[in-house]
Amino acid sequence: MKIYDLLGIGFGPSNIALAISLDELRQLGHPLECLFIEKQPNFAWHRDMLLNDADMQISFLKDLATLRNPRSHFTFTNYLFEKGRLQDFINLKTFFPSRQEFNDYLCWAASHFENNCIYHEEVIEVLPEKKGNEVTLLRVISRDHIGNVRERLTRNLVVSIGGTPKIPDSFRALRNDPRIFHSSQYLSSIADLGHAKRIAIIGAGQSATEIFLDLHGRSSELEIDLIMRGRAMHPSDDSPSVNEIFNIEFTDYMFSRTPEERERLLKEFHHTNYAAPDIDQIENIFRILYNQKVTGISRHSVITNHITHEVETSEYGIRLQLADLETQQIQERDYDAIILATGYLRTHHQTILAPLATYLPNFSVTRHYRIESTPNFKPAIFVQGASETTHGISDSLLSVTAVRTREIGDALASLTHNEAGTITDRRVIA
Protein backbone atom coordinates (compact mmCIF):
# COMPACT_ATOMS: atom_id res chain seq x y z
CA MET A 1 0.00 0.00 0.00
CA LYS A 2 1.25 3.47 -0.87
CA ILE A 3 2.58 5.46 2.07
CA TYR A 4 1.90 9.21 2.09
CA ASP A 5 4.13 11.72 3.81
CA LEU A 6 1.02 13.54 5.01
CA LEU A 7 -2.71 12.91 5.02
CA GLY A 8 -5.00 15.79 5.86
CA ILE A 9 -8.48 15.36 7.25
CA GLY A 10 -10.67 18.15 5.93
CA PHE A 11 -10.01 20.65 3.15
CA GLY A 12 -11.34 23.90 4.49
CA PRO A 13 -9.39 27.18 4.72
CA SER A 14 -6.82 25.80 7.19
CA ASN A 15 -5.78 22.83 5.08
CA ILE A 16 -5.94 24.82 1.86
CA ALA A 17 -3.49 27.25 3.47
CA LEU A 18 -1.35 24.28 4.51
CA ALA A 19 -1.41 22.94 0.94
CA ILE A 20 -0.16 26.35 -0.23
CA SER A 21 2.57 26.40 2.41
CA LEU A 22 3.69 22.88 1.47
CA ASP A 23 3.76 23.90 -2.20
CA GLU A 24 6.11 26.73 -1.26
CA LEU A 25 8.30 24.23 0.58
CA ARG A 26 8.29 21.99 -2.49
CA GLN A 27 9.63 24.88 -4.55
CA LEU A 28 12.41 25.24 -1.97
CA GLY A 29 13.39 21.58 -2.37
CA HIS A 30 11.29 19.94 0.35
CA PRO A 31 8.72 17.85 -1.54
CA LEU A 32 6.10 15.98 0.50
CA GLU A 33 3.54 13.62 -0.98
CA CYS A 34 0.25 14.80 0.48
CA LEU A 35 -3.42 14.00 0.17
CA PHE A 36 -6.41 15.71 1.76
CA ILE A 37 -9.75 14.00 2.40
CA GLU A 38 -12.89 16.17 2.49
CA LYS A 39 -16.40 14.93 3.27
CA GLN A 40 -18.19 17.65 1.28
CA PRO A 41 -18.93 16.86 -2.40
CA ASN A 42 -16.98 19.97 -3.39
CA PHE A 43 -15.42 22.94 -1.72
CA ALA A 44 -17.74 25.34 0.07
CA TRP A 45 -17.11 27.54 3.08
CA HIS A 46 -20.11 27.72 5.43
CA ARG A 47 -22.36 27.20 2.42
CA ASP A 48 -25.55 27.52 4.49
CA MET A 49 -24.54 30.93 5.82
CA LEU A 50 -23.65 32.57 2.49
CA LEU A 51 -26.32 35.21 2.96
CA ASN A 52 -26.88 38.17 0.69
CA ASP A 53 -25.15 41.30 2.00
CA ALA A 54 -23.18 39.38 4.66
CA ASP A 55 -19.64 40.73 4.87
CA MET A 56 -16.46 39.35 6.39
CA GLN A 57 -15.60 40.40 9.94
CA ILE A 58 -11.89 40.15 9.21
CA SER A 59 -9.59 42.03 6.86
CA PHE A 60 -8.94 40.49 3.44
CA LEU A 61 -5.23 40.82 4.22
CA LYS A 62 -5.67 37.95 6.67
CA ASP A 63 -6.13 35.59 3.76
CA LEU A 64 -4.46 32.23 3.13
CA ALA A 65 -1.00 33.59 2.42
CA THR A 66 -0.36 37.33 2.84
CA LEU A 67 0.91 37.36 6.43
CA ARG A 68 3.32 34.54 5.58
CA ASN A 69 4.25 35.49 2.03
CA PRO A 70 2.81 38.70 0.53
CA ARG A 71 4.29 37.73 -2.85
CA SER A 72 2.35 34.46 -2.99
CA HIS A 73 0.18 33.60 -5.99
CA PHE A 74 -2.55 32.77 -3.47
CA THR A 75 -3.16 36.18 -1.88
CA PHE A 76 -6.63 37.68 -2.04
CA THR A 77 -5.12 40.60 -3.96
CA ASN A 78 -3.80 38.30 -6.68
CA TYR A 79 -7.15 36.51 -6.79
CA LEU A 80 -8.82 39.86 -7.53
CA PHE A 81 -6.21 40.59 -10.19
CA GLU A 82 -6.74 37.24 -11.91
CA LYS A 83 -10.52 37.70 -11.78
CA GLY A 84 -10.24 41.19 -13.30
CA ARG A 85 -11.77 42.94 -10.26
CA LEU A 86 -8.76 44.49 -8.52
CA GLN A 87 -9.48 48.09 -9.52
CA ASP A 88 -13.18 47.75 -8.76
CA PHE A 89 -12.44 46.32 -5.32
CA ILE A 90 -10.06 49.19 -4.60
CA ASN A 91 -12.87 51.59 -5.46
CA LEU A 92 -15.08 49.95 -2.84
CA LYS A 93 -12.69 51.37 -0.21
CA THR A 94 -13.16 48.44 2.17
CA PHE A 95 -11.08 45.84 3.95
CA PHE A 96 -14.10 43.57 4.29
CA PRO A 97 -15.27 41.72 1.17
CA SER A 98 -18.62 39.99 1.07
CA ARG A 99 -18.71 36.49 2.43
CA GLN A 100 -19.77 35.23 -0.98
CA GLU A 101 -16.70 36.78 -2.60
CA PHE A 102 -14.37 35.37 0.04
CA ASN A 103 -15.92 31.96 -0.49
CA ASP A 104 -15.19 32.34 -4.20
CA TYR A 105 -11.59 33.24 -3.35
CA LEU A 106 -11.29 30.08 -1.24
CA CYS A 107 -12.83 28.01 -4.07
CA TRP A 108 -10.30 29.52 -6.47
CA ALA A 109 -7.42 28.63 -4.15
CA ALA A 110 -8.75 25.10 -3.57
CA SER A 111 -9.05 24.50 -7.32
CA HIS A 112 -5.25 24.57 -7.62
CA PHE A 113 -5.02 21.39 -5.53
CA GLU A 114 -7.68 19.17 -7.07
CA ASN A 115 -5.09 16.45 -7.64
CA ASN A 116 -4.27 16.49 -3.92
CA CYS A 117 -7.80 16.27 -2.55
CA ILE A 118 -10.45 13.54 -2.44
CA TYR A 119 -13.95 15.00 -2.04
CA HIS A 120 -17.15 13.32 -0.84
CA GLU A 121 -15.25 10.97 1.45
CA GLU A 122 -15.38 11.05 5.25
CA VAL A 123 -12.64 9.83 7.57
CA ILE A 124 -14.22 7.54 10.15
CA GLU A 125 -11.21 6.16 12.01
CA VAL A 126 -7.44 6.42 12.39
CA LEU A 127 -5.62 3.29 13.55
CA PRO A 128 -2.00 2.66 14.63
CA GLU A 129 0.34 0.59 12.46
CA LYS A 130 2.94 -1.10 14.66
CA LYS A 131 6.41 -2.42 14.09
CA GLY A 132 7.36 -4.22 17.27
CA ASN A 133 6.47 -1.98 20.19
CA GLU A 134 6.52 1.19 18.10
CA VAL A 135 3.76 2.86 16.13
CA THR A 136 5.46 3.75 12.87
CA LEU A 137 2.55 4.65 10.57
CA LEU A 138 -1.13 5.55 10.68
CA ARG A 139 -3.89 3.74 8.83
CA VAL A 140 -6.60 6.24 7.85
CA ILE A 141 -9.98 4.68 7.12
CA SER A 142 -12.60 6.62 5.19
CA ARG A 143 -15.97 6.00 3.58
CA ASP A 144 -17.18 7.59 0.35
CA HIS A 145 -20.72 8.81 -0.38
CA ILE A 146 -21.88 5.45 -1.74
CA GLY A 147 -20.51 3.46 1.18
CA ASN A 148 -17.18 2.21 -0.17
CA VAL A 149 -14.46 2.02 2.49
CA ARG A 150 -10.88 3.06 1.71
CA GLU A 151 -7.70 2.60 3.73
CA ARG A 152 -4.53 4.68 3.33
CA LEU A 153 -1.20 4.72 5.15
CA THR A 154 0.61 7.88 6.19
CA ARG A 155 3.67 8.94 8.12
CA ASN A 156 2.05 12.16 9.36
CA LEU A 157 -1.46 13.48 9.85
CA VAL A 158 -3.10 16.90 10.12
CA VAL A 159 -6.67 17.24 11.37
CA SER A 160 -8.45 20.42 10.29
CA ILE A 161 -12.16 19.68 10.53
CA GLY A 162 -13.60 22.88 11.92
CA GLY A 163 -16.26 22.91 14.61
CA THR A 164 -19.30 20.74 15.18
CA PRO A 165 -22.63 22.39 16.04
CA LYS A 166 -23.13 23.08 19.73
CA ILE A 167 -26.63 21.97 20.69
CA PRO A 168 -28.05 23.17 24.05
CA ASP A 169 -29.10 20.41 26.44
CA SER A 170 -32.80 21.23 26.17
CA PHE A 171 -32.73 20.57 22.39
CA ARG A 172 -30.49 17.50 22.17
CA ALA A 173 -33.31 14.95 22.25
CA LEU A 174 -34.95 16.78 19.32
CA ARG A 175 -31.92 17.24 17.10
CA ASN A 176 -33.48 15.09 14.36
CA ASP A 177 -36.65 17.20 14.17
CA PRO A 178 -36.33 19.12 10.85
CA ARG A 179 -38.08 22.11 12.43
CA ILE A 180 -35.17 22.55 14.86
CA PHE A 181 -31.78 23.10 13.28
CA HIS A 182 -28.41 24.74 13.82
CA SER A 183 -27.38 27.95 12.06
CA SER A 184 -24.79 25.94 10.10
CA GLN A 185 -27.76 24.38 8.24
CA TYR A 186 -29.73 27.59 7.85
CA LEU A 187 -30.21 28.11 4.11
CA SER A 188 -30.92 24.49 3.19
CA SER A 189 -33.18 23.91 6.20
CA ILE A 190 -35.21 27.10 5.95
CA ALA A 191 -35.86 26.34 2.27
CA ASP A 192 -37.69 23.19 3.36
CA LEU A 193 -39.88 25.11 5.82
CA GLY A 194 -41.68 27.50 3.51
CA HIS A 195 -44.81 27.21 5.62
CA ALA A 196 -43.15 28.52 8.80
CA LYS A 197 -44.59 31.82 10.04
CA ARG A 198 -43.32 32.08 13.63
CA ILE A 199 -39.61 31.47 14.07
CA ALA A 200 -37.35 31.66 17.12
CA ILE A 201 -33.61 32.24 16.91
CA ILE A 202 -31.58 31.17 19.95
CA GLY A 203 -28.34 33.13 20.31
CA ALA A 204 -26.82 36.60 20.38
CA GLY A 205 -23.85 36.46 18.03
CA GLN A 206 -23.15 37.39 14.43
CA SER A 207 -24.95 34.35 13.00
CA ALA A 208 -28.06 35.04 15.08
CA THR A 209 -28.31 38.67 13.98
CA GLU A 210 -27.57 37.88 10.33
CA ILE A 211 -30.31 35.24 10.27
CA PHE A 212 -32.75 37.63 11.99
CA LEU A 213 -32.14 40.28 9.32
CA ASP A 214 -32.28 37.74 6.50
CA LEU A 215 -35.64 36.38 7.68
CA HIS A 216 -36.99 39.90 8.16
CA GLY A 217 -36.26 40.66 4.53
CA ARG A 218 -37.78 37.45 3.19
CA SER A 219 -41.44 38.04 3.95
CA SER A 220 -43.66 40.60 5.67
CA GLU A 221 -45.65 37.72 7.16
CA LEU A 222 -42.84 36.22 9.21
CA GLU A 223 -42.74 36.80 12.96
CA ILE A 224 -39.31 36.39 14.53
CA ASP A 225 -38.16 36.22 18.15
CA LEU A 226 -34.47 36.59 18.96
CA ILE A 227 -33.90 34.88 22.33
CA MET A 228 -30.71 35.33 24.35
CA ARG A 229 -29.43 34.83 27.88
CA GLY A 230 -27.70 38.22 28.01
CA ARG A 231 -29.44 41.46 28.93
CA ALA A 232 -28.36 43.11 25.70
CA MET A 233 -26.54 42.51 22.43
CA HIS A 234 -22.89 43.44 22.83
CA PRO A 235 -21.05 44.58 19.68
CA SER A 236 -17.75 42.97 18.80
CA ASP A 237 -14.76 45.00 19.92
CA ASP A 238 -12.57 45.45 16.86
CA SER A 239 -10.62 48.49 18.04
CA PRO A 240 -6.93 48.53 17.04
CA SER A 241 -5.65 47.96 20.56
CA VAL A 242 -7.92 45.01 21.29
CA ASN A 243 -7.31 43.55 17.84
CA GLU A 244 -3.69 43.01 18.79
CA ILE A 245 -4.77 39.80 20.52
CA PHE A 246 -5.18 38.39 16.98
CA ASN A 247 -1.59 39.24 16.07
CA ILE A 248 0.84 36.39 15.51
CA GLU A 249 2.98 37.40 18.50
CA PHE A 250 0.05 37.01 20.87
CA THR A 251 0.02 33.25 20.21
CA ASP A 252 3.49 33.00 21.76
CA TYR A 253 2.38 35.11 24.71
CA MET A 254 -0.79 33.07 25.25
CA PHE A 255 1.03 29.75 25.07
CA SER A 256 3.65 30.91 27.60
CA ARG A 257 1.02 31.69 30.25
CA THR A 258 -0.19 29.39 33.02
CA PRO A 259 -3.58 27.66 32.56
CA GLU A 260 -5.11 30.13 35.02
CA GLU A 261 -3.74 33.13 33.14
CA ARG A 262 -4.96 31.73 29.81
CA GLU A 263 -8.45 31.29 31.21
CA ARG A 264 -8.44 34.88 32.41
CA LEU A 265 -7.31 36.15 28.99
CA LEU A 266 -9.99 34.14 27.17
CA LYS A 267 -12.65 35.55 29.48
CA GLU A 268 -11.34 39.11 29.13
CA PHE A 269 -11.47 39.02 25.33
CA HIS A 270 -14.54 36.80 24.94
CA HIS A 271 -16.58 39.54 23.26
CA THR A 272 -14.09 39.98 20.44
CA ASN A 273 -15.48 36.82 18.86
CA TYR A 274 -18.36 35.27 20.82
CA ALA A 275 -21.92 36.59 21.23
CA ALA A 276 -20.66 39.78 19.62
CA PRO A 277 -22.22 40.85 16.30
CA ASP A 278 -21.08 43.85 14.29
CA ILE A 279 -22.47 47.15 15.53
CA ASP A 280 -24.27 47.78 12.24
CA GLN A 281 -26.22 44.53 12.70
CA ILE A 282 -27.36 45.63 16.14
CA GLU A 283 -28.32 49.07 14.82
CA ASN A 284 -30.35 47.53 11.98
CA ILE A 285 -32.28 45.32 14.38
CA PHE A 286 -32.91 48.24 16.75
CA ARG A 287 -34.17 50.29 13.80
CA ILE A 288 -36.61 47.52 12.85
CA LEU A 289 -37.93 47.30 16.40
CA TYR A 290 -38.26 51.08 16.60
CA ASN A 291 -40.24 51.22 13.35
CA GLN A 292 -42.61 48.66 14.85
CA LYS A 293 -43.35 51.15 17.63
CA VAL A 294 -43.95 53.88 15.06
CA THR A 295 -46.35 51.83 12.95
CA GLY A 296 -47.95 49.94 15.81
CA ILE A 297 -47.43 46.69 13.87
CA SER A 298 -45.43 44.31 16.02
CA ARG A 299 -43.91 41.34 14.17
CA HIS A 300 -40.62 40.72 15.89
CA SER A 301 -39.18 40.85 19.40
CA VAL A 302 -35.87 40.48 21.17
CA ILE A 303 -36.23 38.48 24.37
CA THR A 304 -33.26 39.06 26.65
CA ASN A 305 -32.18 37.49 29.94
CA HIS A 306 -33.99 34.22 29.15
CA ILE A 307 -32.98 30.62 28.60
CA THR A 308 -34.94 27.68 27.23
CA HIS A 309 -36.25 25.70 30.18
CA GLU A 310 -38.19 23.03 28.31
CA VAL A 311 -39.18 22.17 24.75
CA GLU A 312 -42.34 20.37 23.67
CA THR A 313 -43.13 19.37 20.12
CA SER A 314 -46.22 18.22 18.31
CA GLU A 315 -47.38 18.01 14.73
CA TYR A 316 -48.73 21.54 15.15
CA GLY A 317 -45.56 23.26 16.30
CA ILE A 318 -42.88 23.70 18.94
CA ARG A 319 -43.59 25.14 22.37
CA LEU A 320 -40.75 26.73 24.29
CA GLN A 321 -40.85 27.31 28.01
CA LEU A 322 -38.58 30.31 28.55
CA ALA A 323 -37.19 31.01 32.02
CA ASP A 324 -36.34 34.54 33.14
CA LEU A 325 -32.84 34.35 34.62
CA GLU A 326 -33.66 37.00 37.22
CA THR A 327 -37.18 36.14 38.40
CA GLN A 328 -37.25 32.45 37.32
CA GLN A 329 -40.72 33.08 35.92
CA ILE A 330 -41.70 30.88 32.98
CA GLN A 331 -43.42 32.04 29.83
CA GLU A 332 -44.58 29.80 26.98
CA ARG A 333 -44.26 30.64 23.31
CA ASP A 334 -45.21 28.63 20.21
CA TYR A 335 -43.17 28.47 17.01
CA ASP A 336 -43.08 26.75 13.65
CA ALA A 337 -39.28 26.55 13.60
CA ILE A 338 -36.31 27.04 15.93
CA ILE A 339 -32.86 28.09 14.72
CA LEU A 340 -29.97 27.40 17.10
CA ALA A 341 -27.28 30.04 16.55
CA THR A 342 -25.42 28.58 19.51
CA GLY A 343 -21.87 28.23 18.26
CA TYR A 344 -19.56 25.27 17.84
CA LEU A 345 -17.61 22.64 19.74
CA ARG A 346 -14.03 21.93 18.67
CA THR A 347 -13.30 18.52 20.15
CA HIS A 348 -14.38 16.19 17.33
CA HIS A 349 -10.75 15.46 16.44
CA GLN A 350 -10.56 13.51 19.70
CA THR A 351 -13.37 11.25 18.51
CA ILE A 352 -11.65 10.54 15.20
CA LEU A 353 -8.35 9.88 16.97
CA ALA A 354 -9.90 7.85 19.82
CA PRO A 355 -8.14 4.58 18.79
CA LEU A 356 -4.84 6.41 19.36
CA ALA A 357 -5.73 7.84 22.77
CA THR A 358 -3.30 5.51 24.56
CA TYR A 359 -0.45 7.22 22.71
CA LEU A 360 -1.81 10.78 22.91
CA PRO A 361 -2.25 11.54 26.63
CA ASN A 362 -4.85 14.27 27.19
CA PHE A 363 -4.51 15.31 23.52
CA SER A 364 -2.20 18.11 24.67
CA VAL A 365 -0.85 20.27 21.86
CA THR A 366 2.62 21.77 21.56
CA ARG A 367 3.26 25.39 20.58
CA HIS A 368 3.54 24.31 16.94
CA TYR A 369 0.22 22.42 16.96
CA ARG A 370 1.59 18.89 17.21
CA ILE A 371 -0.28 16.58 19.59
CA GLU A 372 2.11 15.37 22.25
CA SER A 373 2.66 11.60 22.14
CA THR A 374 4.39 8.78 23.98
CA PRO A 375 8.01 7.95 23.00
CA ASN A 376 6.97 4.82 21.08
CA PHE A 377 4.60 6.79 18.83
CA LYS A 378 6.53 8.06 15.81
CA PRO A 379 3.95 9.71 13.48
CA ALA A 380 3.42 13.44 13.87
CA ILE A 381 -0.22 14.49 14.29
CA PHE A 382 -1.09 18.17 13.97
CA VAL A 383 -4.42 19.89 14.63
CA GLN A 384 -5.71 23.19 13.32
CA GLY A 385 -8.52 25.19 14.89
CA ALA A 386 -8.78 23.10 18.08
CA SER A 387 -6.31 24.82 20.42
CA GLU A 388 -8.05 27.97 21.63
CA THR A 389 -7.45 27.24 25.30
CA THR A 390 -3.67 27.17 24.79
CA HIS A 391 -3.12 29.33 21.69
CA GLY A 392 -5.81 32.01 21.99
CA ILE A 393 -9.11 33.07 20.43
CA SER A 394 -7.47 33.55 17.03
CA ASP A 395 -6.86 29.79 16.73
CA SER A 396 -10.25 29.05 15.14
CA LEU A 397 -10.18 32.18 12.95
CA LEU A 398 -8.37 33.18 9.78
CA SER A 399 -6.09 35.59 11.64
CA VAL A 400 -3.17 33.21 12.21
CA THR A 401 -3.87 30.64 9.49
CA ALA A 402 -1.18 31.75 7.04
CA VAL A 403 1.56 31.75 9.68
CA ARG A 404 0.32 28.66 11.52
CA THR A 405 0.56 26.61 8.35
CA ARG A 406 4.14 27.79 7.83
CA GLU A 407 4.96 26.55 11.33
CA ILE A 408 3.36 23.17 10.63
CA GLY A 409 5.06 23.01 7.23
CA ASP A 410 8.45 23.76 8.77
CA ALA A 411 7.87 21.04 11.35
CA LEU A 412 6.98 18.55 8.63
CA ALA A 413 10.03 19.53 6.57
CA SER A 414 12.21 18.79 9.59
CA LEU A 415 11.03 15.19 9.62
CA THR A 416 13.05 12.64 7.65
CA HIS A 417 12.07 9.11 6.83
CA ASN A 418 14.45 6.20 7.21
CA GLU A 419 14.33 3.14 5.03
CA ALA A 420 11.92 1.38 7.36
CA GLY A 421 9.41 4.20 7.04
CA THR A 422 9.79 5.49 10.59
CA ILE A 423 10.24 9.10 11.47
CA THR A 424 13.20 10.94 12.93
CA ASP A 425 12.55 14.46 14.19
CA ARG A 426 15.60 16.65 13.63
CA ARG A 427 14.50 19.21 16.16
CA VAL A 428 12.39 19.45 19.26
CA ILE A 429 8.93 20.75 18.46
CA ALA A 430 8.26 22.89 21.46
Q: Please give the single-letter amino acid code of residue 95.
A: F
Residue 430 confidence (pLDDT): 28
> To the nearest whole percent, how much of the chain has pLDDT over 90?
89
Same domain, residue pair 56 and 185: no
Whether residues 158 and 93 share a domain: the answer is yes
* Residue 298 is assigned to a structural domain of this protein: yes
- pLDDT tens by residue, 148-166: 999 999 999 999 999 999 9
Tell which phi-psi region holds residue 421, choosing left (phi > 0), alpha (psi between -120 and 50) or beta: left
pLDDT tens across 379-396, in order? 999 999 999 999 999 999
Residues 212 and 289 in one domain: yes
Instruction: Please check whether residue 192 lies inside any domain of the structure.
Output: yes
Q: Give the pLDDT confidence score for residue 415 in this predicted structure.
A: 81
Show Cβ contacts of residue 317 under 8 Å, excluding neighbours closer than 6 positions.
Answer: 179, 198, 334, 335, 336
Instruction: State the pLDDT confidence band at 195, using cuts at 50, 70 and 90.
Output: confident
Domain boundary among 340, 357, 372: 340
In-domain check, residue 278: yes
- Domain of residue 215: give its range: 166-236+273-340
Asked, for residue 247, whether it belongs to a domain, the answer is no
Q: Do 150 and 291 reside in the same domain of the chain?
A: no
Assign 423 a pLDDT band (cuts: 50, 70, 90).
very low
What is the model's pLDDT at position 238?
Answer: 85
- Provide the b/e sequence for 242-268 (b: ≥16 CB within 10 Å): ebebbbeebbeebbeeeeeebeebbee
In the listed set 294, 323, 340, which residue is the last one of a domain according to the structure?
A: 340
Residue 250 lies in a domain: no
Of 194 and 341, the structure prediction assigns the larger pLDDT to: 341
Question: Average model confidence (pLDDT) for the chain?
Answer: 93
Tell me, yes or no, whether 264 lies in a domain. no
C-alpha span between 362 and 383 (Å, rounded): 14
In a domain, residue 209? The reply is yes
CATH code of 404's domain = 3.50.50.60
Position 144 pLDDT exceeds 90: yes
DSSP track, 32-97: --EEEE-SSSS--SSGGG--TT-B-SS-TTSSSSTTT-TT-TTSHHHHHHHHT-HHHHHHHT-S--
Q: State whether 113 and 208 are in the same domain.
A: no
Instruction: Assess whether pLDDT exceeds 90 at residue 345.
Output: yes
22/149 same-domain check: yes
> Mean per-residue pLDDT for 409-422?
66
Q: What is the pLDDT of residue 315?
A: 87
Per-residue pLDDT at 53: 85
Decide: pTM greater than 0.85: yes
Q: What confidence tier does 417 reach under pLDDT thresholds 50, 70, 90? A: very low
Q: Which pLDDT belongs to residue 110?
A: 98
Give the long-range contacts of residues 87-90, CB within 8 A, separation 24 or more.
none
**Per-residue pLDDT tens over the stretch 200-247:** 999 999 999 999 999 999 999 999 999 999 999 999 888 888 889 999
Q: Say if residue 22 is in the same domain as residue 92.
A: yes
Query: Looking at the structure, do residues 210 and 120 belong to the same domain, yes or no?
Result: no
Which of 324, 340, 356 is the C-terminal boundary of a domain?
340
In a domain, 259, yes or no: no
Residues 32-52 have a mean pLDDT of 95
Residues 314 and 208 reside in one and the same domain: yes
Q: In what order do the strands lie in the sheet with 330-335?
A: 306-314, 317-324, 330-335
Could you tell me if 16 and 27 lie in one domain?
A: yes
If asked whether residues 282 and 197 sit together in one domain, one would say yes
- Give the number of domains in the chain: 2
In this structure, the answer to whether residues 224 and 308 fall within a common structural domain is yes
